Structures are given as C-alpha cells and as structure tokens.
Chain A
Amino acid sequence: MKQIWTAAILASLASAAAAEVTVDNCGTPLTFDATPERLIVHDMNMTEMAFALGLQDKIVGLTGITGWYKTSPTFDEARGDIPELAPKYPTVENLLAAEPDMFFAGWYYGMRPGGEVTPDTLEPFGIKTMVLTESCVHQHEGRPEASMNLLFDDVMRLGQVMGVEDKAKGLVDGWEAQLSAIEAKTSGVDQPRVFLLDGPADAPFTAGKFAIPDAMIDAAGGASVTSDLDTSWGRTSWEAVAAANPEFLVLLDYQTGNGAEDTFKFLQEHPVMSGIDAVKNEAWIGLRYEELTPGPANITAIEKMAKAMHPELF
C-alpha cells in the first residue's frame, strides 16, 4: 500500500513538473500548459493509438467510427462505454457539448480545409487540435515522404502531451523491434511490385508517397508501384498500374458485402487488370481501414503482408 502511495505521489510530481509540453503540429509548435483532461478522438486509427496508450479514462468521446466501419470485439472492449459524439464528421456543437480540451484528428480525418471544424475554429473555444501527421500534407507544402515515423511520432506526441511518454516509448521500441525482425528476414530477397487498391472504381484510388501504406509496403519487403505518386491518397489510372504489372495486391477491406474478395473479383473481370501477374497468381491480401491508416494495427498488418508476399521466409 505504501508503495502505491509513493508511486502516486511521484507520478503526480512528474506530471506537475512536465506540465508545459510542446509538440510539433504540422511544423508549428503546439503547447499545452497542463495535461489535457478531456480528450476527443476521431476515427478508428487515432482511437486505437489512444487506446494503446491506455488513455480511456481521459477520452470523453469518439467521432467518426460507426458511420463507416464495423468495429472489432477487441475495439469494443477497449472502448467500454465511451460515447460516440458523431458517427461521421463532427460539428463544433457536437464537440463543444462534451467539454473537451483537446481534439485529435486530421485533415480528411474529421476535419475539412475551410470546413466547420478546423484547429482555427476550435481554438476560440479553448480546444487544442492535435493534427495527424500523415494528413499535414493537405495543408502544408514540403512534407517528408511517408515513413513509419508517421505512426511512431504521433504515438510519441500523444504520449508526451497526455503525460504517458514512457508508455509511448515502450510501444514504439517494441514496434521497431518487430519491424527489424521482419526486415532481417526480407533483406536481400527480391521485392515484389505491390499495388494498393481502395476498391472497384473507374479510376483506381490508391496510396501515394505521403500516405503510410507506402512505408508499410516497404517495411514488409515490397516495392509500391505508386510510390512516385505525388499525393497522400489519390487516383491514378488503370493503364499506369497495368504497365507496372504488380506482382502483389493490397486490397482495402471495408467489410461490406464480401469485402476485399469483391474487389479481387472486379480485377479478375477487368479487361486490363486481369492480365497482370498478381491477378493471374491470385497474390493478394485484404487489410482493414485501421490497418492502412496510421495506427498500432499497422505493425501486425506489415507482418501479414510480409508473410503473404514472402511465405518461404516465415
């Protein structure tokens, strides 16, 4: 019992000492005078970051979860009774009613440029917005190309701001170790050409050089055929994809209908795509939204991809 008290006192001292925290927010500093007590998180991927850090008791609401996805039992269990304030994008009123002091979201992850909810429109209400680093590219020029730091840095930033930096550091160290183990196996082997597809469409919607799947495919020992696409998520053409002749496909599984299976059938019937190696050899994997947007699920997704691309190594 005594030990618990000592730990509690030490912890409170530590949080008092670390009261003022400044983190990078799309290239501008974001300063907190005190640790936020009431947090709202948008979208599955960012919510899973917060859950991984054990921040449930500080989260007063979630937004943008059930409007788009089916949640997994693990997610529901971690979520407990945290309310969802809006199933899709929130309004300022939705947020303000929960009395938050911080909102964790991104551009096109809960916020639209020039829209109702932006860091600028929330600021007058005393709500600070932490912007998902992957999404900074929508508002700021000259962002670095995607790397796994998109995940690591955001978990570290969230950890620093919420006063759980050690936990964040532990998570990131663990993930880095997992990734180096994968890299050790895949280094030196041929990297298959990989193409990521969002779903059936007249023009393929995929991840460009600023989106995290670009770094994930790399970490799994593959080479994305759209890594020169100068956008985060965007459209390319079937011609360009077919010309690159991908050997492996990553298909986004929205868990509607038969999910990624439907997308693969679409490709098998597509006049051009049916002829590429990946479709002929049925070399593909379906991954969920939260596995392909910055979040803790990235790591297991990389492992799944690596195993599917290089079955002989695992």
Chain B
Amino acid sequence: MNRYALGLGIGAVSLTALIVLSVLYGTTRIPVGDVLSAIATGLGLGGEPGPMDRIVFDLRLPRAVFSAVIGAGLGIVGVVLQTTTRNDLADPFLFGLSSGAAAGAVFVITVTGDVLGIWTLPLAAFSGGIVASLIVLTLVQSLRNAAPEKLILAGLAVSFLFAAITNYLIFSGDSRAAHSIVFWMLGGLGLARWQSLPLVLAGLALILAYATYRRRWLDALLAGDRTAKSLGVPVTRLRMTMFLMAALATAAFVSVAGVIGFVGLMVPHLARGLAGPLHTRLLPTAALIGAALLTASDILSRVILAPQELPVGIVTTSVGAIFVFALLIGGRKTAR
C-alpha cells in the first residue's frame, strides 16, 4: 500500500507541475510574473483584466483543467471498456462513438452551419456519439447473449457505417470543409472555456463514480463471465450499463475536444503495469496517467510549431506510441 500511495503522490505532484507548465507556456510568450498577476486578476483580486490576463485566465487555465479532466476521463473509460469486453484493444472510439460524433460534427460543418450558435457543434457531436452508441446497444441487446465479441463486432459495424456517412458528407460538401473536419477529428483543446467545464466535469464524475461504485463487480469480471455470475454479478446488465456510462462520458469529452486518440487505448495498459489489475487501485492510477499524458501532449502541441498549434491527437499518438515501445523493450528485459 505504501509503494502505491507513494506512486499516487508522485503522480499527483507531476500532474500539478504539468498543469502549471500548461498555464505558463502557450503560443504567446507571457512572463511568469504576468501569469501570476493574471490569475490574481481573474480571481477578482486585481483591477480590470487586460488581454494578457484574459489569455491566461480565460484561455490557458480552462485549457489546462480540460486536458487533465478529459485525459483522466478517457483513461477510466478505457479501463472500464477493456474490463467489460475482456479485450485489450477496446477503447472508447472502437464502439462507433468517435465516428458517430464525427458524423454529427461534419453534418453541422457541411450542411446546417452554426444554426444554434457556439453550441451547435458540441451538441451535434454529442448527439452523434450517443446515437451511434445506442445503435450498438440495441444491436447487441437484440441478440440472445451479449457476449463481449458481439459488442465489439457491433461497434465496428456501426463505426464503419458512420464513417461512410461522414465521408459522404465530406465528399458531397465543399471541399474546403474537409480541412476543418480533419482538424476536428484529430482533436484539440482550443475550445476549452469555463462555460463548458461543467459538461466535461459531469462526464468525468459520471464514469468515475459509477466505476468506483461497481469496482468489485469489475474485478469479478476479470475472472470470466461464469465466475462473475457465480459471484452474483449480473454480467449482461453490468456490461450494458457500463457501456452506456462510458458512451455518455466520451460523448461529453468529444463534443468539446474532438476525437483524441490513444489515451483510452493505452493508458489502461500503463496503469495495469503500475497498479495491477484490480480496480480499486487501477481506476485512480489510470485517471492520473491519462490526465498527465493529455496535459503534457497539449503543452507540446502548442510549443512545437508556435505560434501555430498542432492537433493534440497527433501528439498523444506519437508520445504514447514511443512510451509503449519503451515499455515493451523494458518489459522484455525484465522477463528474461
């Protein structure tokens, strides 16, 4: 327990440091002193906020919080989905969620335009993701047993269907819209604002609370469906509810940050290596790693090409992949 507590402590400290860095660095150079006074001003301790104050308090600070919250959320969603489907390759975007959300967003970009103002795109992406997940759930439910393979197969089918719809919309619409869509599908935290914070917080709270509440059942699932059933776990119902919760949380994240790849897929593996397979420890570890990974990636995405900004998905994928290479090589050595 002590080593685990120490690990969590180190993780929390690194995450805090990353969040501080995320506020200090951006596409514009702002001296540290100005950043501190900007935060003071934002909290109502100073005078009228100037543009630099607003950059720090209304752009960078929410952005840092968003990257931590969304990273943590995606990490937990990944754990939950990998456990319930008993598939190491399960991730929030394998179940049609991302393609559904993308289709919703693309529909707004190419067909309707911002009819409902600033909330049009998030709303459309959210609905698209939920619709896709509901189709997956209905498909699986109409089968007699909701075996994990069926859930993945249904997810893949729905995913391809929505990808086809998206590509149709891109192709039939204005060609320049494609650029806008590519950017969105690679994810980015540029739209992080205080106003939309409740949405992503709700997503994180939902999946964190439910997964923590059902952590023993999730542990039981690790031993296989039959063992779990014999332990009194309603396996099918648990699988469906978990999937729905994961879908709601992911849709909330996607609606403001686009499709950020890799975090949900790889973070659970990293977390298992550190905390073991049981969920009491696994869930907080995955949340911390996810938060740190996404925050670090977001800092890099703003610094590499400054003053231009990279889509954060490019960074998470490459940073994550290198990390996994290192882990695989290191793991092989210790195994010998």
Contact = CB atoms under 8 A, between A and B. Distances in A.
Contacts of B188: 116
A87 interface: yes
A114 B105 contact: yes
A93 interface: yes
Contact of A113 (B54, B109, B175, B190): B109
Interface string A80-106: 000001111111111011110000000
A202 to B, nearest CB: 12
Given A96-B51, A108-B179, A120 B114 contact: yes
B55 A97 contact: yes
A232 B3 CA distance: 62
Contacts of B54: 96, 125
Nearest to B60: A93
Interface stretch (B117-125, B278-286, B315-323): B117-125
A121 B27 CA distance: 17
A120 B118 contact: yes
A113 B28 contact: no
Contacts of B51: 96-99, 125
B243 interface: no
Contacts of A118: 114, 118
A87 B183 CA distance: 17
A140 B112 CA distance: 8
Contact of B191 (A116, A140, A233, A234): A116
Bin the interface of chain B by size. 20 to 34
A140 B235 CA distance: 50
A89 B176 CA distance: 14
Nearest to A135: B176
A93 B59 contact: yes
B290 interface: no
A72 interface: no
B113 A113 contact: yes
B308 interface: yes
Nearest to A26: B113
Nearest to A111: B180
B276 to A, nearest CB: 40
Nearest to B124: A114
What DSSP secondary structure best describes chain B's contact surface? helix
Contacts of A93: 26-28, 55, 59-60
Given A86-B307, A116-B188, A94 B180 contact: no
B83 to A, nearest CB: 34
B189 to A, nearest CB: 9
Contacts of B308: 67, 86-89, 91
Contact of B118 (A97, A121, A141): A121
A229 to B, nearest CB: 11
A112 interface: yes
Contacts of A67: 308
B219 interface: no
What DSSP secondary structure best describes chain A's contact surface? loop
Interface in A233-279: 233-235
A265 B309 CA distance: 36
Contacts of A141: 113
A108 B182 CA distance: 13
Contact of B114 (A87, A116, A139, A234): A139
Nearest to A109: B176
B21 to A, nearest CB: 16
B231 interface: no
A240 B327 CA distance: 54
A234 B175 contact: yes
Interface string B294-336: 0000000000000111000000000000000000000000000
Interface string A201-229: 00001000000000000000000000000
B149 interface: no
B114 A113 contact: yes
Contacts of B117: 120
24 contacts: A86-B27, A90-B307, A91-B309, A93-B26, A93-B27, A93-B28, A93-B60, A96-B51, A97-B55, A99-B51, A108-B176, A108-B177, A108-B179, A112-B179, A113-B113, A114-B105, A114-B121, A115-B184, A115-B190, A116-B191, A141-B113, A233-B174, A233-B176, A234-B174
